[in-house]
């Protein structure tokens, strides 16, 4: 019992004691601390009801107090200056027994890096070789922050760059003395500026130009100077060797009107007085002055203005070299120029300005166009205009394409034979132009068109001649052309032909004509059987106009005429004349052997001057057979028909035509140009006015009309 009571008392005592003891507590205020890089102290507060201590202090940080008892305590944290360029921190722990430690973080800012600033770059320097002095320096000016100390190092480089380079021993100041031993040339230097903790800076590269040592001038100009002329601007530049700049002076006056530019050494002005003048000149530079040098210059009298003496210029031709030399009087030198030249003319021809020669190869035909040419000398310029004609290029035998605007060109017997044979595309339906006389060499000719073809193109004789043309045999349809078709044209042609044939339809130009023959003349001798004519043997639905025949014409059968043998249906013969004898075995006529009188056939405005016409009883001075279609024709009243002159049945609309009168003196009526004009012949120099008068006046003995190209 006693033991139990004791235990109960003990338990009560223990229970009372437990109520009197406190639990530990800890509170930290201001536990995040930042201290500047320069160092210093900061505080935080510890509140606890127990003993406490602080741990984790690094060497750069002190804590006071580092421990304590219960109650409030202010703890001072002191940091040394941070010389590092990075922030640093410390993790402190405040510890109370039985509790989790409370952290305190201390951060110190990083030290500030110095900053270098170059405030003045080294500047380019120019010095003279052998004269580099102590004042010839390169200088850099720089500043740095944070009180840092600057250090300098100069470098040399092979180019104007601050990359790379070679450090110069001993060149460690802001000023760099340029080496006195530098030879002439260009050198490059830059400076590297440093400070502890700062970013290194380099200046721009500065150029040091070392000029060669000055050389005294030596005048190289020689006397006499080029001559001048009164009233003509004059300029001469004196020359000298030596180091630039060189200046000039002249103690004597130069010729009147001239003056010296002392900085450039130029003597210039406009002379006012003729004569020969002597004066002295000297040159000077940094190395010294030359001895004066004597010069002489002659000033000639004033120039005489040019006068162009060329009066006209020759005609040119496309594709053919052209040359003319213009001439002028006046004081030399005279230069040449032109104005208002057409572009194509100027592109093709070149004017030599020194000689006045105009030359080149024209490319464009032009007629009577005016170009002005100028002659210029010291006294002025004068222009004169000339009229030029550039003719088309000479045609080339065998050229052309056969079109109306680009006909095949006939200039040789070979080309004529090519047309006859139809070779190389030279077919009877194409267009042709004769560009030169053709000698058939007396060989026997086969008609153009062969045995059966017709010529339906155009043959322009171009006023040229075919001669020594011979034909023979028994074939029908003989002549230069076998037959001319309905659309065929033969014109502007002169032929000399001999035909000795026994065939029918024989004519100087064509055996048969259904097209147009105009402005043609025929000479020689033409013989055949039936339908034989000086121009065409058989003319049906065709026209023969403005033709003349001096050839003798003979046919053994019917229908022989000076122009046409048989003028059949639709055939027209007009403005033609014939002069030689006509002989036929049947119908005969000085113009048409047989005028059929069929629809549309006509012989009009023609003149028969044949010496004689012989044939059957129906032959006439102008035409045989029929007066139908005969209009305004004439015949020589002295002509015989079958051996007798005609005294009856004459008249412009008959087969005999009207009489031409004997005229006055030795000149018959047909020796008067007025007579032919009255008949209807048109005089001029073109296809539409094809006749020309051969006399010296209107009334000339023996004069007769001919075609304009004869």
Phi, psi torsion values for 421, nearest 5 degrees? -85, -15
- Cβ(89)–Cβ(105) below 8 Å: yes
3-state SS, one letter per residue, for 434-454: ECCCEECCCCECCCECCCCCC
Please report the pLDDT score of residue 593 as a whole number: 96
On the question of pLDDT at 91 being above 70, the answer is: yes
Model pLDDT for residues 470-512, shown as the tens digit of each residue = 999 999 999 999 999 999 999 999 999 999 999 999 999 999 9
Please report the pLDDT score of residue 667 as a whole number: 54
Q: Residue 488: CA atoms inside 13 Å, Cβ hemisphere, count?
A: 28
What residues form DSSP beta bridges with 138?
176
Whether 218-300 and 426-660 share one fold: the answer is no
Domain 218-300 belongs to what topology? Immunoglobulin-like (2.60.40)
- Cβ(339)–Cβ(346) below 8 Å: no
Query: What 3-state DSSP class applies to 345?
Result: helix
- Cβ(558)–Cβ(593) below 8 Å: yes
Mean pLDDT score, 354-365: 92
Domain 26-108 belongs to what topology? Immunoglobulin-like (2.60.40)
Please report the pLDDT score of residue 13 as a whole number: 44
Structure tokens at 396: 């080339």
Domain limits of the chain? Answer: 26-108, 116-211, 218-300, 307-391, 426-660
Rounded-to-10 torsion of CA 149, 153, 159, 165:
-110
Q: Residue 155: CA atoms inside 13 Å, Cβ hemisphere, count?
A: 20
Give the other-Cβ count within 10 Å of 22's Cβ.
8
3-state SS, one letter per residue, for 205-269: CEEEEEECCCCCCEECCCCCCCCEECCCCEEEECCEECCCCCEEECCCCCCCCEEEECCCCEEEE
Closest CA to 364 of 415, 317, 295: 317
The mean pLDDT value of the chain amounts to 91
What is 426-660's CATH number?
2.160.20.110
Model pLDDT for residues 195-235, shown as the tens digit of each residue = 988 999 999 999 999 988 888 999 999 999 999 989 889 99
Does domain 307-391 fall under CATH 3.40.309.10? My reply is: no
* pLDDT confidence tier of residue 346, bands split at 50, 70 and 90: low
Structure tokens at 408: 């095949």
Structure tokens at 161: 């760059």
- Cβ(196)–Cβ(114) below 8 Å: yes
Rounded-to-10 torsion of CA 548, 552, 558, 559:
10
Q: Write down the pTM of the prediction.
A: 0.54
What span, in angstroms and rounded, lies between the C-alpha atoms of 526 and 75? 157
Lowest-pLDDT range, 113-117, 142-146, 336-340, 444-448?
A: 336-340
- According to DSSP, the β-strands at 630-631 and 644-645 are unpaired
Lowest-pLDDT range, 4-18, 145-159, 582-596?
A: 4-18
- Cβ(384)–Cβ(378) below 8 Å: no
On the question of pLDDT at 4 being above 60, the answer is: no
Helix (H) or strand (E) holding 430: none
What span, in angstroms and rounded, lies between the C-alpha atoms of 257 and 271? 5
- Cβ(418)–Cβ(428) below 8 Å: no
The CATH number of domain 116-211, selected from 3.40.50.1390, 2.30.130.10, 2.120.10.30, 2.60.40.10 = 2.60.40.10
């Amino acid at each position: 019992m006693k033991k139990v009571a004791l235990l109960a008392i003990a338990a009560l005592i223990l229970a009372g004691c437990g109520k009197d003891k406190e639990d530990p507590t800890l509170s930290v205020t201001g536990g995040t601390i930042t201290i500047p890089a320069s160092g210093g102290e900061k505080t935080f507060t510890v509140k606890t009801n127990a003993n406490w201590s602080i741990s984790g202090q690094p060497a750069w940080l002190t804590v006071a107090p580092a421990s304590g008892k219960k109650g409030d305590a202010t703890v001072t944290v002191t940091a040394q200056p941070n010389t590092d360029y990075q922030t640093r921190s410390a993790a402190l722990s405040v510890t109370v027994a039985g509790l989790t430690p409370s952290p305190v973080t201390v951060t110190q800012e990083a030290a500030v890096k110095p900053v270098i600033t170059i405030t003045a770059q080294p500047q380019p320097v120019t010095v003279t070789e052998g004269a580099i002095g102590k004042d010839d320096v390169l200088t850099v000016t720089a500043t740095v922050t944070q009180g840092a100390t600057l250090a300098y190092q100069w470098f040399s480089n092979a180019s104007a760059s601050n990359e790379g380079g070679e450090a110069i021993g001993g060149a460690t100041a802001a000023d760099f003395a340029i080496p006195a031993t530098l030879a002439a040339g260009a050198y490059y230097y830059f400076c590297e500026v440093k400070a502890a903790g700062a970013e290194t800076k380099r200046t721009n590269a500065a150029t040091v130009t070392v000029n060669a040592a000055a050389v005294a001038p030596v005048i190289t100009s020689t006397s006499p100077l080029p001559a001048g002329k009164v009233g003509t601007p004059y300029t001469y530049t004196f020359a000298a060797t030596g180091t630039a700049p060189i200046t000039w002076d002249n103690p004597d006056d130069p010729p009147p009107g001239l003056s010296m530019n002392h900085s450039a050494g130029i003597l210039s002005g406009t002379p006012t007085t003729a004569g020969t003048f002597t004066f002295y000149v000297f040159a000077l530079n940094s190395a010294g002055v030359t001895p004066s040098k004597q010069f002489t210059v002659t000033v000639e009298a004033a120039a005489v203005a040019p006068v162009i003496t060329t009066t006209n210029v020759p005609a040119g031709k496309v594709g053919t070299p052209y040359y003319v030399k213009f001439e002028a009087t006046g004081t030399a030198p005279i230069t040449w120029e032109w104005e208002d030249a057409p572009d194509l003319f100027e592109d093709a021809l070149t004017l030599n300005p020194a000689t006045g020669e105009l030359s080149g190869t024209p490319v464009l035909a032009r007629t009577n166009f005016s170009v002005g040419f100028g002659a210029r000398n010291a006294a002025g310029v004068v222009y004169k205009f000339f009229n030029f004609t550039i003719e088309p290029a000479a045609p080339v035998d065998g050229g052309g394409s056969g079109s109306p605007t680009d006909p095949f060109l006939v200039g040789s017997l070979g080309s004529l034979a090519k047309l006859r044979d139809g070779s190389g595309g030279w077919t009877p339906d194409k267009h042709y132009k004769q560009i030169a006389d053709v000698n058939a060499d007396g060989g026997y000719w086969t008609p153009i068109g062969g045995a059966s073809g017709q010529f339906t193109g155009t043959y322009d004789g171009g006023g040229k001649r075919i001669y020594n043309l011979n034909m023979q045999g028994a074939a029908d349809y003989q002549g230069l052309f076998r037959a001319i078709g309905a659309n065929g044209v033969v014109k502007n042609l002169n032929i000399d032909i001999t035909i000795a044939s026994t065939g029918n339809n024989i004519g100087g130009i064509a055996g048969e004509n259904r097209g147009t023959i105009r402005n043609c003349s025929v000479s020689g001798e033409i013989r055949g059987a039936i339908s034989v004519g000086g121009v065409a043997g058989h003319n049906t639905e065709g026209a023969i106009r403005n033709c003349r025949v001096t050839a003798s014409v003979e046919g053994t059968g019917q229908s022989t005429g000076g122009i046409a043998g048989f003028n059949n249906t639709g055939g027209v013969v007009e403005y033609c004349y014939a002069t030689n004898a006509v002989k036929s075995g049947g119908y005969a006529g000085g113009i048409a052997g047989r005028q059929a009188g069929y629809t549309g056939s006509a012989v009009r405005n023609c003149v028969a001057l044949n010496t004689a016409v012989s044939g059957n009883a129906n032959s006439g001075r102008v035409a045989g057979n029929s007066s139908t279609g005969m209009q305004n024709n004439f015949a020589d009243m002295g002509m015989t028909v079958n051996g007798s002159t005609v005294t009856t049945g004459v008249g412009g609309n008959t087969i005999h035509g009207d009489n031409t009168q004997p005229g006055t003196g030795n000149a018959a009526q047909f020796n008067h140009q007025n007579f032919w004009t009255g008949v209807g012949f048109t005089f001029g120099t073109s296809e539409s006015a094809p006749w020309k008068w051969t006399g010296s006046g209107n009334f000339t003995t023996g004069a007769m009309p001919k075609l304009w190209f004869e």
